Chains A and B, each alone.
Chain A
Amino acid sequence: MKLRYALFIGEEAVLPRDMKRCLMKFSQMICSALVAGVAMVGLSSAQAADITGAGATFPYPIYSKWADSYKTETGNALNYASVGSGAGIKQIQAKTVTFGATDAPLTAEQLAKDGMAQFPMVMGAIVAVVNIDGVKAGELVLDGKTLGDIYLGAVKTWDADAIKKLNPNVKLPSAAITVVRRSDGSGTSFNFTDYLAKVNADWKSKVGVGQAVEWPVGVGAKGNEGIAGNVAQTKNSIGYVEYAYAKQNNLTYASMVNAAGKTVKPTLAAFQAAAANASWKAEEGFYQILTNQPGDASWPITAATFILVYKDASDKAAVAEALKFFTWAYDKGGKAAEELDYIPMPANVVALVKAMWAKDVKTK
């Protein structure tokens, strides 16, 4: 007997002859129809005016909302691959997309080396989300040092003293904390670790800042979505996501103690208070880190997200289309951004950006 391993052609039912013939004819018909369909369709050309971009998951909720409205208004589609800041930078460097998106801004030297222009698109905030039975959104209070200690693995259970001290009235279980962090290169991680390094000396010396650091503990999830999905699914877990993800998915976010020592909830006002401290300079590629900003009402982990385009791209028409979309987003997308608790760029910064485009970015 022939050994038919791996293919599973075992003992079968016996089928009457005419039914089998019918079946064969039927499958032949389906096959030819499919092949004809594929042949007709497979060699057609691409869609018109598709703007391609890739990068941060941080702004994906607002970018996709804008893309939807833009398509309804102008008919042009925005194809944004939400793959993380690291992958976004890599794709724009490989010139496989028209623009890259990152929350970890490139420095002026890096921009000069690659010949890219960078500008801020929108600002948002990172919140810590937890999944603890009985704890509601905004109830749990954490400060930077404790958050860092949790992510270092120094604080291991929810009823540890450090957390109890900040939350005298919250009933905390004695369960182990499941830490969720990013497995991919992430601008969100960059801003989060930047904040932790500023407020937790241990974190600064042991782990440091970066898009992908050597996380001492925790499970890795892909993208902001991954962390949100994991935390929603896993009891007694903690993660960090952009606020829109927490809001859209009804995750339990934690309030934070900011640099001024005040406890703040993640609200648009708190994010705007932090963002008001920014000073934007076109010569530095608008480089800006907004973590741990001063001010009584400031949210401690605020961040801006940036767009990268080539100053002298090979497909200038594509860059022109992309800039049209960004202009539309600056001018008309503010309300949609605020609905998702993102902060649109203030008018004076938009003017600086448009001036930079006119000067540096070739669209013809």
Chain B
Amino acid sequence: MTDMTVPAQINHTGSLDRARALAGFKFGDRTFYWMTRISALAVLCILGGIIISLIIGALPAIKTFGLDFLVTRRWAPQLSPSPVLGALGPIYGTIVTSLIAMLIAVPVGIGIAIFLTEFCPPAIRRPVGVAIELLAGIPSIIYGMWGFFVLAPFMTDHFMPVVIATFQHVPVLNVIFAGPPSYLSLFNASLVLAIMILPFITAISRDVFQTVPPMLKESAYGLGCTTWEVVKNVVIPFTRAGVIGGIMLALGRALGETMAVTFIIGNSFQINGSIFSPGTTISAAIASEFAEASGVHMSALILLGLLLFVLTFIVLAAARLMLARLQEKQGK
């Protein structure tokens, strides 16, 4: 028969230790919980900080120029008594370079993704994939350097004159492709940008292509479809949201890229329709002029930074939503 009476010399310190230990655990839990929670909130604070500091910095420019800032082309920071500054040049350059970069990078990027998932012999699949991802790892200043010393001279000396001569008499295109060919031009910058964002589109497209259930593809193959028909009719419609999300992510990158573009774009605030002439983008304008700007000039540059941030925010938010929709579709 078990003796259920408690022994007289019960060690009370045992339960005291236990209580202390539990209190310690509770304290440790609380501390750790709050440390992690505050860090998570810090992420939100960083975003808030960015927006607030940009707005504070841009206020003088907003007060001086108002909405006219967006449609003025003239950029004269040294004018006295008060400078005349307009964002049209940088905004135009940013949109044009990103657009051309996307026009080049999207078909090529998706093409490479299709190649890697469908056509590539398994032996070279991994090396090629890794090689494309290496492109993403190269720092952007090297793209700028390479573009300035190698790509720009080559394109300007050999490619541009051919295009200018070809389209000389075509009504609309002869404005877009007008000479004289300039080493530092929107087109050269767009080309370098395209090579930079290529790996992003490829990586995301490859990831989403691999999420297509093999069953769907097998069924299509079973019906006698060629590989291209499977891609066109099964893979791409299934992953459409993901691919578009990836494209918008790459667009967000292209809009904000600074160093690859600054070297090759030519820093000119003129707008004359030809993509072979120099121009500027928002980030290139800030990078070139910020170090010596003061007063309203600096405030205008910060306002440009704010515009860029808002623009990329919208694009990246849209990308996120697209990609989330794809995950929903997969039932996550």
Question: Which residue of chain A is the closest to B288 with respect to CB atoms?
Answer: A183
Q: Which residues of B contact A93 (CB under 8 A)?
A: 294
Q: Which residues of A contact B133 (CB under 8 A)?
A: 8, 10
Q: Is the CB of A234 within 8 A of B183?
A: yes
Cα A10 to Cα B207 in complex, Å, equals: 9
Number of A residues, CB within 8 Å of B: 38
Contact call A220/B292, Cβ cutoff below 8 A: no
Chain B interface size range? 35 or more
Q: Check if A11 sits within 8 Å of B153, measured CB to CB.
A: no
Partner of B207, one of A4, A87, A219: A4
On chain B, the residues within 8 Å of A4 by CB distance are 207
Contact A214 B76 (CB under 8 A): yes
CB of B69 within 8 Å of the partner chain = no
CA distance A221 to B136 in the complex (A): 28
Chain B residues whose C-beta falls within 8 Å of the C-beta of A217 in the assembled complex: 270
Are the CB atoms of B182 and A178 closer together than 8 Å?
Answer: yes
Contacts of B326 in A (CB 8 A): 3
Interface centre among A8, A83, A175 (most CB of B within 10 A): A8
- Contacting pair A11 B74 (CB below 8 A): no
A5 and B204: CB pair below 8 A?
yes
Distance between A82 CB and nearest chain B CB, rounded to angstroms:
11
B237-269 near A? 1/0 per residue, CB < 8 Å? 000001000100100000000000000001110
Set A87, A178, A212, A230: member contacting B291, Cβ < 8 A: A87
Set A84, A87, A212: member contacting B78, Cβ < 8 A: A212
Q: Are A176 and B179 in contact (CB under 8 A)?
A: yes
Interface residues in A233-251 by Cβ distance below 8 A to B read: 233-235
B249-A6 in contact (CB<8A) = yes
Chain B 192-220 interface mask (CB, 8 Å, partner A; 1/0): 00000000100110011011000000000
Which A residues form the contact surface with B (CB < 8 A)?
1, 3-6, 8, 10-11, 83-84, 86-87, 90, 93, 156, 175-176, 178, 183-185, 210-222, 230, 233-235
Given A176-B180, A214-B75; 20 other pairs, CB 8 A cutoff: A1-B210, A3-B242, A4-B207, A8-B133, A10-B130, A11-B129, A83-B291, A83-B292, A87-B291, A175-B180, A176-B179, A210-B78, A211-B78, A214-B74, A214-B76, A219-B267, A219-B278, A220-B266, A222-B288, A230-B183
- Residues of B in contact with A (beta carbons under 8 Å apart): 74-78, 126, 129-130, 133, 136-137, 148-149, 153, 157, 179-184, 200, 203-204, 207-208, 210-211, 242, 246, 249, 266-268, 270, 278, 288-289, 291-294, 323, 326-327
